[in-house]
Amino acid sequence: MTDLDYLKLSKPAKMAHDLGSGIAAIPGRIVKGFKGLGLWFAKVFRGLGASIADLVTTFKDGDWKTRLSYLVMGFGSCARGQWGRGILFFLFQTVFNLYMFFPNASLSGCYYLGKLSTLGTVETYKEGRRTVYGDNSFFILLYGVLTLFFILAFIYTWRLNVKQNKISEQILKSGHKLKTTKEDLSSLMDEQFHKTLLALPVLGVTVFTILPIIFMILVAFTNFDATHQPPSKLFTWVGWDNFRQLLSTDTAAYGGTFKQVLLWTLIWAFFATFLNYFLGMLVAIMINKKGIKLKKVWRTILVMTIAIPQFVSLLYVSKMFAQDGLINTYFMKWGWIKSPIPFWTQAGWARFTVILINVWIGIPYLMLIATGILMNIPADLYESARIDGANAFQMYKKITLPYMLFVTGPYLLTSFTGNINNFNVIFLLSQGKPQSLELAGNAGYTDLLITWLYKMTVNDTNYKLAAVMGILVFVVLAVINLVAYNLIPSVKNEEDFQ
């Protein structure tokens, strides 16, 4: 289709064309992504080869101080008068050696690294009245991963130590002086201040974010559950068995439940995102309309729902919709119904109710966002449209909605992602109920993937399937975000607004 043919299309036809083009381009993007990943690995291997060659050359051409630094980190720096650098390198090597080869085997990194392939072989047992503790699979996996990180950090630091010696030799040969410890400290507070500033955050992200993620991924390949609880019982590697169990086609098992919960999660996220979006926009348009009095009062009333903590409001609303709650009591009192409406005991009613209540919670946020954007739409656009004879709906369709979608496209994407992981609303309102024997893993008909994962972890201690589900939630979100991100107008037309 040529650009001229595209411009002749109606707005719905353009949206359909863009959606079709975006979906059709997905296989190409996947191939491009794998190609990019392959090029990245090739670059890494080339860099690794160049680094090894540089190490050999540095050792061959370096002086005795540099060569000895290959064995004793920091020796070359100390020998050349850079005591601060040398002591830090030496302390790091000392700590690494103590951790890896500690005399007490159960406290050494080599012990955990050696047990990592089996996750332990000696079980805890009773010897009379005394409990003899064996291997702890949890600690073996945790400290094994930590040891691998420590080894990578040591290799990087050792390489940095060699590089520093090489640079120092080159500086001395050129007739210049090396930096003193005082000058190094001054540099860390001046031109190298970014390294000082980022050191602690990077360490924190590595220890408290990256390490737990890798640990969770590895748990997905074990049989860590209620029947394999350390230290009394060991757990071990099971390969892809957990993934097969969760993705099985058996409708009565975890596979069938996962498909139902995933489908409901996507339905919930769609309605929770777009109902709030369009209704919040409609409320903002109504309040901002000329002639409406007490605008600040209406906005204040709506914002009050944001000011009240969700923990309080959602629990209260949950009780209102109970079998003996205010809603059913007054409906029966007024003769509107003969028996209580099963808001939380029937699957269809429960799902409808949580979507309805989420609209009440979400509209104020969207109203505030939409109000700020609507105030920035040029009034000349509306005046020109009125002169051309456009009615209110046509102005909304041709001016307001495109402008809103352009500005709030990224927000819609993050909102959809947030609703997929919206733990608070579901858990505080329905706790995932109603439950059924047809659903495995203590799941309910209003459970999202995130609330089901919580139940698996806290109630059932089924850590293996919870870890698998965490990985699958990430995959689902990644695919949705990648596709949607390439379709939103604010990304496709970053340079202008059409």
Q: Which residues make Cβ contacts (< 8 Å) with residue 67, sequence separation at least 6? A: 59
Look at residues 237, 233, 120, 251 and name the one whose alpha carbon lies nearest to residue 461.
233
Per-residue pLDDT tens over the stretch 15-31: 555 545 555 555 666 67
Report the alpha-carbon distance of residue 81 to residue 184 in Å, rounded. 12
Contact 168, 76 (CB under 8 A): yes
DSSP state of 399: I
Report the alpha-carbon distance of residue 35 to residue 226 in Å, rounded. 42
Long-range contact pairs involving 476-485 (C-beta distance under 8 Å, separation at least 24)? 476/262, 476/420, 476/449, 477/417, 477/420, 477/421, 480/416, 480/417, 480/420, 481/413, 481/417, 482/29, 483/22, 483/23, 483/26, 484/413, 484/416, 485/413
Contact 471, 220 (CB under 8 A): yes
Report the alpha-carbon distance of residue 321 to residue 145 in Å, rounded. 48
Question: Whole-model pTM?
Answer: 0.77
DSSP state of 345: T
Look at residues 143, 242, 145 and name the one whose alpha carbon lies nearest to residue 462.
242
Report the alpha-carbon distance of residue 339 to residue 331 in Å, rounded. 9
Look at residues 385, 405, 370, 373 and name the one whose alpha carbon lies nearest to residue 18.
405
Across the chain, which has 498 residues, the per-10-residue mean pLDDT values are 52 52 58 73 83 88 90 91 91 92 80 89 80 85 92 93 90 86 86 86 89 91 88 89 84 81 92 89 83 79 78 85 88 88 90 90 84 81 84 83 81 86 88 84 88 86 88 85 70 51
Neighbours of 434 (CB within 10 A): 17
DSSP state of 106: G
Neighbours of 334 (CB within 10 A): 8
3-state SS class at 63: coil
Task: Say what the pLDDT of residue 11 is.
Answer: 52
Q: Which residues make Cβ contacts (< 8 Å) with residue 423, sequence separation at least 6? A: 448, 450, 451, 454
Length of the chain: 498
Task: Say what the pLDDT of residue 175 is.
Answer: 85
What torsion, rounded to 10 degrees, do the Cα atoms 344, 349, 351, 357 define?
-80
Per-residue pLDDT tens over the stretch 132-142: 778 889 999 99
Task: Say what the pLDDT of residue 90 is.
Answer: 94
Task: Say what the pLDDT of residue 311 is.
Answer: 78
Task: Say what the pLDDT of residue 132 is.
Answer: 79
Task: Say what the pLDDT of residue 306 is.
Answer: 76
Look at residues 327, 328, 343 and name the one whose alpha carbon lies nearest to residue 433.
343
Task: Say what the pLDDT of residue 498 is.
Answer: 47
